[in-house]
Chains A and B, each alone.
Chain A
Amino acid sequence: MPLFRAPGPAQRDAELDELLGQVAQGDTAAFERLYDQVAGAVYGLAVRILRDSAQAEEVAQEVLIQVWRKAAAFDPSRGGAMTWIMTLAHRRTVDRVRSEQASAAREDRAGRQEVPAPADGVAELVLDRLDRQRVRDCLGRLTGAQRESITLAYYDGYTYREVAARIGLPLGTVKSRIRDGLIRLRDCLGVT
């Protein structure tokens, strides 16, 4: 089971889009196959943001059930199934971290810029390792301010106002650094 799905190959993405379409029809077997492909990413992102495996598991549960419930709202013309699922996962996890409970843990470790590595002893697939390395390389090509802004916003769940306050830059500067950085990442990762 791949832990990480790159934007390509297109074949895998098309397969996931199709699975999500079947899920929208109430197909529980399709949902189980979808679960196997996405649960690790949903859970891992929640752990990264919340820094708490118990809370992350609870949020991941909510997200995956939401994927089942809202599958019919997925619109392939607005992005792939994996993007749709990860956007739901990020939004829900960030809602949680912005609530009072988890913010203390985030405060402790905010701003770390590395891409999280899987726990020791996890057998990574070669493909998975290469994909992670690619993300790391692409993040490494950003300017420091771009990388810091994106990391604080995406991996720590800060709003752009909070990011601006933390790193002492005007709001407009943060907006443009995040956008410029994402565009650079997009091009480096070959997202189309």
Chain B
Amino acid sequence: MSGEDVHALAGIYAIGALDDPAEVREFEAHLAHCEACADEVRQLQTTAAVLGQAAALPAPPTLRARVLPGIGDVPQDPATAPTAAPLTTVQPSGEPHRPVHGRPGSARRLALKWPRVGTLVAAACLAVAVAVGVVAVRDQQRLDQLTAANQAISAVLSAPDARATIARATGGGTVTLVSAPSRDRVVVASSGLPALPSSKTYQLWMMGPAGIRPAGLLRPDATGHVPLRVATVPGGANRVGMTVEPAGGSSQPTTTPIVVLPL
């Protein structure tokens, strides 16, 4: 690619329209050595950001309620994250996670032994590794998110008081909840949940005497695999439920839960 061609990419890069991973890498490599280009990209990104701000709308109060109350519990990334990890060498490996099936329709608490926690940790790492493999060439940010999610998952699964509860979901599939009284988060894993049309999503809920709060959406990928999900447990919650909701989720459940697990 000639110098002129590389420079022509500044606009589409700044505006987020350059999506080919190889081209993004090539352009970013060029930016590292071209001060004038980096300066132009900075200015054009600032210009694009003004276009974005011109679309501002009053944020709904529910957004505030979804973001601010728990923010202090969200771990922050350290200042110096590695930026050029050899992503393409990450390969999924090992046995697929085989969930333990509980009795249909009832939640069953298992006396969780260490080897099983180890298995779950391995499953979590596998899930992250698979996910990393998928997105490796797409987006460093995704990797950062997955790394943070992996840390959060490990923090729950490696807690000395971790325990797993497994239940079969109405309509098929199983849902595993790993909780630890010493942690304010839980990990939710699922297996074999029915595929949903794009107009619907699975949604988690934290339920307790004080009410029901949304705890995140779960979207199976094309192969039916649902990523592990970490959810923060608000004070007073004593159960975790899952429902099927319209795409984008709901602020309160609109259907009967397909599974409810005790915390």
Contact = CB atoms under 8 A, between A and B. Distances in A.
Interface of A: 3-7, 24, 26, 28, 31-32, 35, 39-45, 47-48, 52-55, 57-58, 60-61, 64-66, 68-73, 78-80, 82-83, 85-91, 94-95, 98, 100-101, 115-116, 118-119, 122, 128, 131-132, 135-136, 150, 153-155, 157-161, 163, 172, 174-176, 178-183, 185-186, 189, 191-192
A61 B69 CA distance: 12
B141 interface: yes
B11 A182 contact: yes
A104 to B, nearest CB: 9
B14 interface: yes
Interface string B41-59: 0111111111111111111
A102 to B, nearest CB: 9
B11 A83 contact: no
A88 B62 CA distance: 21
A65 B44 CA distance: 25
Contact of B79 (A72, A90, A174): A72
B55 A45 contact: yes
Given A83-B46, A87-B45, A116-B54, 12 more contacts: A4-B56, A28-B72, A35-B64, A44-B55, A44-B57, A58-B249, A72-B78, A79-B42, A89-B52, A135-B51, A153-B15, A182-B48
B226 to A, nearest CB: 15
Given A160-B18, A191-B43, A191-B47, A60 B55 contact: no
B95 interface: no
A112 to B, nearest CB: 12
Contacts of B48: 86-87, 90, 154, 182
10 contacts: A52-B248, A66-B145, A82-B53, A100-B198, A115-B54, A135-B54, A155-B51, A174-B12, A176-B11, A182-B47
B17 interface: yes
Contacts of A70: 76-77, 141, 144
Contacts of A100: 198
Contacts of B144: 70
B52 A90 contact: yes
A152 to B, nearest CB: 9
Contact of B12 (A3, A57, A175, A189): A175
A160 B77 CA distance: 32
Contacts of B55: 41, 44-45, 47-48, 115-116, 155
B115 interface: no
B26 interface: no
B81 interface: yes
Contacts of A183: 11, 44
Contacts of A94: 16
B74 to A, nearest CB: 6
A25 to B, nearest CB: 9
B76 A72 contact: yes
B11 A181 contact: yes
A82 B51 contact: no
Contacts of A98: 19
B111 interface: no
A21 B38 CA distance: 22
Interface in B9-49: 9-12, 14-19, 38, 42-49
Contacts of A132: 54
Top 8 A-B pairs, shortest CB-CB distance: A179-B11, A54-B248, A86-B49, A44-B57, A72-B79, A153-B17, A39-B59, A178-B11
B75 interface: yes
B16 A176 contact: no
A8 to B, nearest CB: 11
A101 B220 CA distance: 13
